[in-house]
């Protein structure tokens, strides 16, 4: 059975019973049942409608009585049926009761016998009741079906066996751009215009194909072109509508907008890809950090021994500068992979950007105008200050390269409140207060393909040797570590806008820590399987007054602890070691000496955090300089 629109049930209301040209005692009877749907469907209106139809039937019967006898109740049956159709059982039974009274009046005026009159009157009552019951039940079932199809979240289009549209639900009306009244009766191929997303070639209408092949079509994807030209990616499935005898009476197509789902799938795929590459990058960076610790550490020690005016001082400075650049590269890798342990502090992005303004102007050059729309007090966030500074520098560098002929770079920082809705869901953020930093330029812009790969590691549009491809990946990792989100808006020739959203916090900014003396006289057990790192740390600590015991693995450290436990004040251990990790070693030692102070160090990802339920661990990130090492050691020793 083909599915009709709910309004088709009321089609009779838009029909006009034409004039009956009759001869004899009645000339014509005209009954208009037009625009009945415009009346509210309430019980009172149903009763009024039923009584009005009955009155019209009485008038018509009075006029047409010579032509209707002996079937004088024919017009009353019509009144009962129409009342039941439009207003259900209540309207039908009201019309039946009123009609029974009118018919009884007409029968009493006739000369028929009592038995004949009662028989005919009883027959009318039974017929009116059956018509009311059946019509109301049919009406309710059709309305329930129509309401169900109109309420589901997917688009539904139904056709008859010739492929003409008989029904569209509201979702289908929105996606196709065709109102139900205009679409009804048109070929399905005219209402549903589908094209292949890749080839852009029109594809056969799935309803037409289903009616030809008489088989359910599997879920397929295509682009739907609406009446006003809007393109929507859809997933559709067509199936035949069969009656009780399994004959095909029409077809039904169910389709849905998959634009949002596709966007989420692409985001998930992108996140998985970045995580996989990030794990690789984090491992490489960890090994590289051990090497850098040795290079930069000895270079710093050598610098203190070489006079500033000496001929070798500039070579030492170059070694240190190269080490800093290499350390920055590993920070990029770890920030992208989210493997570097951030050191979040409560900070004011407006103040941070303001302090960077002189440096940014030197970075951009004379032909690019910098406009800073940020002021202290916009809102506080909890993030790693160095990571946020690096993110701003990276975005400003990209903007400079996108404006070779000059232009404008605008940095705007403002407080925003994300409400629960599509805006926050698309960003992947919870509703609430945020600080938004927008960095926009007037450069060449980007196309869709470039935007889709923008945060991939090692992806760059710059010429070989001019870009590492880690700048935006670093931005992405730093923002994610701060529980934020980053979006990009760009079109070729229209510039680019990056927006960074970070949660706004109510905590107060921390006071700067007082500088402590880095020297000491305590005994430290040093454990590291990397000989170069171990020798460097030994030399730095020894030259600053500390007594140092060395061990290259966990077993040797346990043996040294057994002999010298009474005088060991702190353990400085690497995390990643063969046979026994630094965390396992720390657990064994604190089990034997509760309260023992332990400082962990590592260049690998995910080593800076404790387990579930464990207190935070004292941690030193590689690579580090001698000054950083001494400061951290002193901090742990002086802690309560």
Q: Which residues of 342-358 are buried (b: 16+ CB within 10 A; e: fewer)?
A: bebeebbbbbbbbebee
Q: How, if at all, do strands 570-574 and 523-527 pair?
A: parallel
pLDDT interval class at 564 (50, 70, 90): very high
The CA distance from 384 to 627, in Å, is 20
| 123 closest CA partner among 77, 62, 58 | 77
The CA distance from 391 to 414, in Å, is 17
The CA distance from 569 to 637, in Å, is 8
Q: What is residue 27's predicted lDDT score, i.e. its pLDDT? A: 31
Q: What is residue 636's predicted lDDT score, i.e. its pLDDT? A: 92
Structure tokens belonging to residue 76: 């009353």
What mean pLDDT is predicted for residues 273-278? 70
What mean pLDDT is predicted for residues 496-512? 81
The CA distance from 235 to 260, in Å, is 12
What mean pLDDT is predicted for residues 128-147? 79
**Whether 385 contacts 352, CB under 8 Å:** yes
**Whether 37 contacts 9, CB under 8 Å:** no
Percentage of the chain exceeding pLDDT 70: 75
**With a threshold of 0.85, does the pTM exceed it?**
no
| 533 closest CA partner among 291, 324, 282, 287 | 291
Q: What is residue 422's predicted lDDT score, i.e. its pLDDT? A: 59
User: 337-351, pLDDT tens digit by residue?
Assistant: 554 556 688 888 888
- Residue 461 has phi, psi (to 5 degrees) of -100, 0
Question: What 8-state DSSP symbol labels residue 437?
Answer: E
User: 419-448, pLDDT tens digit by residue?
Assistant: 766 555 567 788 888 999 999 999 988 888
Classify burial at 121, counting beta carbons within 10 Å of its beta carbon; exposed 0-12, middle 13-18, buried 19 or more: middle
Of the given ranges (58-62, 268-272, 312-316, 562-566), which has the lowest mean pLDDT? 58-62
| 430 closest CA partner among 417, 412, 439, 415 | 417
Of the given ranges (107-111, 321-325, 477-481), which has the lowest mean pLDDT? 107-111
Q: What is residue 198's predicted lDDT score, i.e. its pLDDT? A: 84
Q: Is pLDDT above 70 for 157? A: yes
Question: What 8-state DSSP symbol labels residue 607?
Answer: -
Classify burial at 155, counting beta carbons within 10 Å of its beta carbon; exposed 0-12, middle 13-18, buried 19 or more: buried
* Residue 504: how many other CB atoms lie within 10 Å: 19
More confident residue, 213 or 407: 407
Q: Is pLDDT above 90 for 523? A: yes
What mean pLDDT is predicted for residues 154-165? 90
Calculate the dihedral angle through the C-alpha atoms of 580, 582, 585, 590, rounding to the nearest 10 degrees: -170
User: 458-491, pLDDT tens digit by residue?
Assistant: 666 665 545 555 668 778 888 888 889 898 988 8
| 2 three-class SS | coil
Q: Find the angle CA(49)-CA(54)-CA(60) to the nearest 5 degrees.
A: 125
Total number of residues shown for the chain? 640
Percentage of the chain exceeding pLDDT 90: 20
Q: What is residue 463's predicted lDDT score, i.e. its pLDDT? A: 54
User: What domains appear along the chain, each with residue ranges and CATH number?
Assistant: 6-149 (no CATH), 152-257 (3.30.450.20), 342-512 (3.30.565.10), 523-638 (3.40.50.2300)
Residue 211 CA from chain centroid, whole number: 37
Q: Is pLDDT above 90 for 537? A: yes
| 501 three-class SS | strand
Distances 267 to 124, 270, 499 between C-alpha atoms, Å:
69, 5, 17
Residues 6+ apart with CB under 8 A from 579: 553, 554, 555
Show the beta-strand stretches assigned E in 230-326: 231-242, 248-257
User: 175-204, pLDDT tens digit by residue?
Assistant: 999 998 999 999 988 999 999 888 888 888
Q: How, if at all, do strands 248-257 and 220-225 pair?
A: unpaired
Q: Taking the CA atoms of the chain, what radius of gyration do you get in angstroms?
A: 41
| 497 closest CA partner among 433, 424, 437 | 437
More confident residue, 168 or 472: 168
- 606 conformational bin, left if phi > 0, alpha if psi -120 to 50, beta if neither: left
What mean pLDDT is predicted for residues 30-35? 34
Q: Is pLDDT above 80 for 8? A: no
* Residue 29: how many other CB atoms lie within 10 Å: 17
Q: Is pLDDT above 80 for 582? A: yes
Question: What average pLDDT does the structure give for the chain?
Answer: 78
Q: Is pLDDT above 50 for 326? A: yes
H or E element in which residue 571 lies: strand 570-574
**Whether 577 contacts 554, CB under 8 Å:** yes
């Amino acid at each position: 059975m083909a599915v009709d629109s709910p309004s088709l049930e009321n089609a009779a209301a838009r029909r006009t019973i034409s004039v009956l040209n009759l001869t004899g005692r009645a000339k014509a009877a005209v009954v208009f049942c037009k625009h009945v749907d415009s009346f509210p469907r309430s019980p009172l209106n149903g009763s009024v409608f039923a009584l009005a139809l009955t009155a019209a039937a009485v008038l018509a019967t009075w006029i047409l009585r010579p032509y209707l006898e002996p079937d004088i109740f024919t017009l009353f049956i019509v009144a009962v049926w129409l009342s039941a159709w439009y207003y259900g059982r209540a309207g039908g039974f009201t019309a039946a009761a009123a009609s029974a009274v009118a018919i009884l009046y007409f029968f009493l005026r006739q000369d028929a016998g009592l038995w004949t009159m009662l028989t005919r009157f009883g027959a009318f009552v039974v017929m009116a009741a059956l018509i009311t019951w059946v019509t109301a039940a049919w009406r309710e079932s059709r309305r329930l079906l129509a309401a169900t199809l109109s309420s589901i979240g997917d688009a539904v289009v139904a056709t008859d066996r010739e492929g003409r549209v008989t029904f569209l639900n509201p979702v289908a009306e929105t996606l196709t751009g065709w109102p139900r009244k205009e679409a009804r009766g048109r070929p399905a191929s005219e209402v549903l215009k589908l094209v292949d997303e890749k080839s852009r070639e029109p594809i056969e209408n799935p309803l037409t194909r289903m009616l030809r092949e008489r088989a359910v079509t599997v879920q397929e994807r295509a682009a739907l072109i609406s009446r006003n030209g809007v393109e929507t990616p859809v997933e559709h499935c067509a199936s035949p509508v069969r009656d009780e005898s399994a004959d095909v009476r029409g077809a039904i197509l169910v389709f849905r907008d998959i634009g949002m789902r596709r966007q989420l799938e692409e985001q998930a795929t992108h996140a998985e890809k970045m995580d996989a590459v990030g794990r690789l990058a984090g491992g490489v960076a960890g090994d590289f950090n051990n090497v850098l610790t040795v290079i930069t550490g000895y270079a710093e020690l050598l610098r203190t021994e070489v006079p500033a005016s000496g001929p070798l001082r500039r070579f030492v400075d170059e070694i240190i500068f190269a080490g800093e650049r290499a350390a920055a590269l590993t920070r990029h890798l770890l920030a992208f992979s989210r493997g570097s342990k951030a050191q979040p502090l409560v900070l004011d992005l407006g103040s941070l950007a303001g302090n960077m303004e002189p440096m940014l102007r030197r970075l951009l050059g004379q032909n690019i105008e910098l406009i800073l729309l940020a002021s202290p007090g916009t809102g506080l966030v909890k993030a790693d200050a160095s990571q946020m500074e690096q993110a701003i520098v990276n975005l400003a560098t990209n903007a400079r390269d996108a404006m070779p002929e000059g232009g404008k770079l605008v940095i705007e920082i403002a407080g925003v409140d994300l409400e629960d809705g599509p805006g926050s869901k698309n960003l992947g953020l919870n509703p609430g207060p945020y600080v938004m930093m927008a960095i926009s330029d007037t450069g060449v812009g980007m196309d869709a393909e470039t935007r889709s790969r923008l945060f991939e590691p090692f992806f760059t549009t710059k010429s070989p040797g001019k870009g590492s491809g880690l700048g935006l990946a670093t931005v992405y990792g730093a923002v994610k570590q701060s529980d934020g989100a980053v979006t990009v808006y760009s079109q070729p020739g229209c510039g680019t806008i990056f927006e960074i959203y970070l949660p706004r916090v109510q905590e107060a900014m921390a006071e700067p820590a007082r500088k402590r003396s880095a020297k000491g006289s305590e005994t430290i057990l040093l454990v590291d399987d990397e000989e170069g790192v171990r020798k460097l740390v030994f030399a730095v600590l020894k030259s600053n007054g500390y007594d140092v015991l060395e061990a290259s693995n966990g077993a040797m450290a346990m043996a040294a602890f057994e002999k010298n436990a009474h005088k060991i004040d702190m353990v400085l251990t690497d995390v990643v070691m063969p046979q026994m990790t630094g965390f396992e070693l720390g657990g064994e030692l604190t089990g034997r000496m509760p309260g023992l102070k332990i400082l962990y160090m590592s260049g690998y990802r995910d080593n800076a955090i404790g387990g579930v339920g464990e207190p935070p661990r004292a941690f030193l990130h590689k690579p580090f300089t001698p000054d950083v090492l001494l400061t951290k050691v002193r901090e742990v020793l002086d802690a309560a």
